Amino acid sequence: MTRRRIPRPEPELNPESDLESDAEFNAEPDIDDADLIFPDNVVAASGSEGERLDRFLAESFAPLSRSRIKNLILDGMARRGGVTTRDPSELVQAGATYALTVPDATPAVPRAESIPLTILYEDSDIIVLDKPAGLVVHPAPGNYEGTLVNALLGHCGDSLTGIGGERRPGIVHRLDKETSGVMVAAKTELAHTRLSQTFANRDLDRHYLALCWGTMSPASGDIEGAIGRDPRDRKRMAVRGSGGRDALTHYSTQQIWRLAVSLLDVKLSTGRTHQIRVHLASVSHPVVGDPVYLRRIPAASKNLPAEIRTRLLDFPRQALHAASLAFAHPRTGEPLSFHTAPPADFQQLLDSLDAVAGPGGSR
């Protein structure tokens, strides 16, 4: 397998760093989040002195994450000897008595909606689903309703026991609005913390199907190039010479039609925004239908009959599908694996290519 490193462009003036960051998490014990019982107070034993307060309290208030503990301290919920302290970095004093108030979970701000979902698996900790194209994951300006979060609130209801102090689903990874496929969400604080660790450590296996223009050379390999905001268009991501974050994409060609279109199996070693779309466009093989990174008619399209060529060029979204996801269950450690076929519009493109351009040849 060949690794294809994208040449770094010359550094831009005043580069802006990617705003993504990995959260810090602590391993948590197996307890039922719905029946959490926290101590009234904790006395710092000898040997605890000098430890950060948020880290010290996180050991006694599992399965709350350290970031949750930090926010509670900042909100004035921690006390030392009956006196409120708001400094998460305060050093613990041996023999001092500490207390932390953990408020009951409050209703989430997004409202629950009855939106049909294709559920692949669900238990008290997690829910795995096949996200359709066109569904936004998180509420945001212009999409406060009709999102996956709204749908999960409606579907899960009272089985959401509280994450970060709110009754809400824990979104640990995302798919773009027009990308379909397998997603997992947490229903409990423990599951959210552990799944976040799993994704941050890349301790999982996920594969995508991407229909791209042209043929990859070599047929299987890697694309490596740091990704950050495009300095000329802040709505786009781009391979950056500086201010980007390292990104590595593995691909393997599954089928080729008339040297014009290829179906790729893609695996990510990193999880940057639009990573597959950016990397494939950067090597002149953009994803079919990509409304952001496909900016001109690909030369390879001339190899196709007019009918299928027009159909591919008019495809209204990126032909990208999160086909499989495998990970360990956050509570039991049981290996879980899920696979879904491309949605109907994607599959129809593949069928049309076979019918008009001839069956794709494996490589």
pLDDT in tens, 175-206: 999 999 999 999 999 999 999 999 999 999 99
Burial of 255 (0-12, 13-18, 19+ CB in 10 A): middle
Task: Give the DSSP H/E element, type plus range, for residue 187.
Answer: none
Buried residues in 285-296 as b, exposed as e (16+ CB within 10 A): bbbbbbebbbee
Contact, 115 vs 53, CB < 8 A? no
Q: Which of 54, 125, 130, 176 is catalytic?
A: 176
Indicate the burial class of 105 (C-beta count within 10 angstroms; 0-12, 13-18, 19 or more).
Answer: middle
Render pLDDT for 289-301 as a digit per residue (tens, 0 to 9).
999 999 899 999 9
pLDDT of residue 3: 56
Q: Does the pTM of the predicted model rise above 0.75?
A: no
Asked if the domains 35-100 and 106-201 are classified in one and the same CATH topology, the answer is no
Residue 10 has pLDDT above 70, yes or no: no
Structure tokens belonging to residue 170: 């824990």
Orientation angle between helical segments 306-313 and 344-352, nearest 10 degrees: 160
Band of the pLDDT at 334, cuts 50, 70, 90? very high
Q: Which two tokens stand for residue 158?
A: 């009272």
Tell me which CATH code domain 106-201 carries. 3.30.2350.10
**Which CATH code is given to the segment(s) 35-100?**
3.10.290.10
DSSP 139: -
pLDDT in tens, 136-160: 998 876 677 899 999 999 999 988 8
Q: How far is CA 297 from CA 152, 166, 284, 312, in A?
A: 39, 47, 11, 11
The 10s digit of each residue's pLDDT in 52-99 is: 999 899 888 876 788 889 989 999 999 999 999 999 999 999 999 999
The pairing of beta strand 119-122 with beta strand 42-43: unpaired
- Annotated catalytic residue 176: yes
The domain locations on the chain are 35-100, 106-201, 206-357
The correct CATH number of 206-357 out of 3.40.50.720, 1.20.1250.20, 3.30.2350.10, 3.40.50.1860 is 3.30.2350.10
**Angle, CA 62 vertex, CA 36 and CA 184 arms, to 5°:** 85
Coil, strand, or helix at residue 50?
Answer: coil
